[in-house]
Amino acid sequence: MRKFNSMCLVTGVLCAAGGALAAEQVKTQVIPNFATTDKTGWVLDRSFGVDDLLPPPTGGPGPVTFDRAHPYVPNGSGAQSTYRVADLSNPIRLPWTSPSMKKANDEVLAGRVPFRARERCWPVGVPGFSAYSLVEPFYFYQSPDKVVVINQGGPEIRRVYLNVTHSKDVKPSWYGESVGHYDGDTLVVDTIGFNDKTFLDNYRTPHTDKLHVTERWRLIEDGKKLEILMTIDDPGTFNQPWQALRQYDRVNRTLSEDICSENNVNPFGIDYGTPVADKPDF
């Protein structure tokens, strides 16, 4: 400490200039405003791919996608929609993940309805949350110490606590513990502490409680789009980390109440396994 202070006495001008520069950088940092009004929401942009999680733009290991022998066709495409059949040739998965994913594939090919968190009113987890907004938009509420992200379908809610470290002992949960900070025009979110009850994607890729997700949220195209670059690291499920990209379009919609188990219309009488309470709440 004395040596440092002595150097500052000798190079006082440089120390003062460095401190002023650091203060100016903090002062001029532009925090991205993901929610300009209460009516600004974000919906998934499918214009550059049918998958919810897309390969990273720079190449390298990416997410599980559809089996090329059974292409995925989403709703609204002008053709008969399909359920997803996972491409099991992705080499980053550890062998234990294959039996359950193959079983799910076989059920789809046999005409059965696969598990989808939204249809069954289950929490979707992370990074599934970033692939959840197919129709229902999600909304940001930002404060100096927290960012809250709400998807009105469910509703599903994430909380990102700013400029803090992770808890010493994180209790596993559906959404884990998310901490974040602003890096220039980007919100960086680091999440750990997951349970193993969710899937990573709509291809029903499982994970363990060792899952660690890092997301970089930023506005692009003059604020018209939102882009998320995510890094997935789970040594219990994959032999290396991988990345995925997702983009959203800004829409002018007001946040509305959409309780999944009450508003999840099922005209075909399919048993989705939606949770039902044994007794009324009140």
CB 64 within 8 A of CB 232: no
Beta-bridge partners for 215: 189, 230
277, part of any domain: no
Dihedral-angle region of residue 9 (phi above 0 means left; psi in -120 to 50 means alpha; beta otherwise): alpha
Q: What CATH number is given to the structural domain containing 180?
A: 2.40.128
Q: Are strands 146-151 and 40-44 parallel, antiparallel or unpaired?
A: unpaired
139, part of any domain: yes
279, part of any domain: no
The DSSP 8-state label assigned to residue 23 in this structure reads H
Coil/strand/helix, residue 164: coil
91, part of any domain: no
Give the Cβ contact number of residue 58 at 10 Å. 8
Amino acid at 91: P
Cα separations in angstroms, 27 against 15, 20, 23, 31: 18, 10, 6, 11
Shortest CA distance to 192 belongs to which of 206, 205, 208?
A: 208
Amino acid at 213: V
**What is the domain count for the chain?**
1
Question: What are the structure tokens assigned to 112, written together?
Answer: 């059965």
Write down the pLDDT at residue 275: 63
Q: pLDDT means per 10 residues in the chain (282 residues)?
A: 39 43 53 77 79 86 93 81 91 95 95 81 84 73 93 84 96 96 96 95 94 96 93 97 92 77 58 66 66
275, part of any domain: no
146, part of any domain: yes
Write down the pLDDT at residue 117: 77
Supply the range of the domain harboring residue 198. 40-63+123-252
The overall average pLDDT reported for the chain is 82
